[in-house]
Structure 1
C-alpha cells in the first residue's frame, strides 16, 4: 500500500561547492540532517548498477513506476500540486480546484526567481531511472509507485535546469547553485537510505564531498 506522506513547509538548506553560493530554498520534511546523512551514506551498499532493461517512464508503454502524480493521501490534491503549494510563495489555486495556477519559486538549483508555473517542474532528486538501477527493478509496482510519489524526494525547480539534469547522478551532475549542495545531498542520501537502494563508489564520493560542505 502506498503510504500517505503529508506535505509541510520546507526547512532551511545549507553550504557550498565551487560556483555561485546562494543558499536558496530548503529540504522537504523528513530529510535527514547532515550528521544522519553521513551515517546513512556510509551504510549504503556499494554495487555495480543494474541494467536499465525493462525501465519505462512513459505510461503509454509499461508505466513501471505507476501513474504519475497520484493523490497519495486522498485529499484531492495530486503530488505535483502538493509540491507546488509547498515550495512556492504567493500561491493561487484554480477556482474550486487544488491545482496551482500561479506562484513564485526561488529555485534552489539555480538561485533564480521563477514567476511562471509553466516554467516549473517537479524533480525526483534521486531520478527514477537511478532508482531502477539501484534496486527498484526488483520491486513490485506498488512499491515503485510509492517511491515515485514520495514527497521527501520531490522538489519544485526551474524546468530547463531539471531537463539538463535528466537521469544523472551526483557524480555526473550537481545543482549549479553551490549553496544547495549540502541540502541536495541530504535529500538524495535520505531517499536512498529509506528505500535501501545501492550506490556506486563514484556516487558515494560525490555525495560525501557535498555533505562535507554542510555547516
Structure 2
C-alpha cells in the first residue's frame, strides 16, 4: 500500500513538473510573440506629422467655423480608459495606448521582462518645455499623455457628430498623442492653438505640423483665430522643411 501511494505521489509530482515546464514554455512563447508584434508595429503613422509645406496646404483646406456644442462635452464621450484600438497603421499590438506612447516617446527605455508592453523606466525629453523627466513604473511622475488637439477642442470642431467608436479611436490614436510634462498639460487643458502654444519656441513648428495634421486627418474644423495662429506657428518652420 505504501509503495503504491509513493508511486502515485511521484507520478503527481512528475506531472506537475512537466506541466510547470509547459506553462513556462507557453509564457516564454507568449512573451516572444508579443515582443515580435511590438517590434514590427510602427508607432507613428506614415507621413505623420506632415512637412510644413504639406501642413500649410492641409490648413488651407480645413473648414473655418466657430466651435459647436461645447456645453455637451464630457470626457466619457471618448471612452473612459486607454485601450488597444489601433496602432499607426490600423492594427492592434496587445498594449494599451499609454504604454505605446511611453515606449515611443521615452529614451533610455527599459521594458518589462514578463510583459514587453510595460515600460519599467525611462526618460522623457519633454517637447513642450525641454525638461528631462524621469519615469519609473508604479511611481508618481511628472509625465502625462497629452492629446495635441485636446478632446474638448476636437468635440467642438466636429467630434460631437461622430460615432462613439470613432471618438474612442481618436482618443487612442498615437498620431494624436504625446508624452508631456504634467503641469504643462494642465495649463494647456482643452485650449486651441490661438489660446495656447508650447513654452519652448523651438517646438512651435512641429507642434503646428502635428496639430494641423490631426485636424486634416479627422476633418475637424478650425476657427478663424485658430487658423491664423497655426499659420504663424508654421511660419517658424525652417525653409525647406
Q: TM-score, normalised by structure 2?
A: 0.74
The C-alpha deviation readout for 1:152-189, integer Å capped at 9, x for no partner, is 11111111111111111111110000000000000000
Offset at 1:142?
0.8
Match of 1:68 in 2: 81
Unaligned runs of 5+ in 2: 1-40, 86-90
Residue 69 of structure 2 corresponds to residue 51 of structure 1: yes
Contact 1:7 1:151 in 2 (8 A): no
C-alpha distance in structure 2 between counterparts of 1:122 and 1:191, whole Å: 16
Match of 1:7 in 2: 42
Contact 1:66 1:145 in 2 (8 A): yes
Please identify, of 96-105 and 181-190, the stretch whose mean Cα deviation from structure 2 is larger: 96-105
Contact 2:44 2:174 in 1 (8 A): no
Give 3-state SS (helix, strand or coil) of 1:116's partner: strand
Unaligned runs of 5+ in 1: 1-5, 11-27, 58-62
Alignment counterpart, residue 123 of structure 2, candidates 67, 84, 104? 104
Residue 181 of structure 2 corresponds to residue 146 of structure 1: no
Structure index of larger Rg: 2
C-alpha distance in structure 2 between counterparts of 1:91 and 1:173, whole Å: 30
Offset at 1:54?
2.5
Paired residues, number: 188
Matches within 5 A, 1:112-127: 112-117=131-136, 118-127=141-150
Q: TM-score, normalised by structure 1?
A: 0.83
Higher relative contact order (CA closer than 8 Å, sequence separation 6+): 1
- The answer to which structure has the higher helix fraction is 2
Please identify, of 104-113 and 88-97, the stretch whose mean Cα deviation from structure 2 is larger: 88-97
Q: CA RMSD in A?
A: 1.7
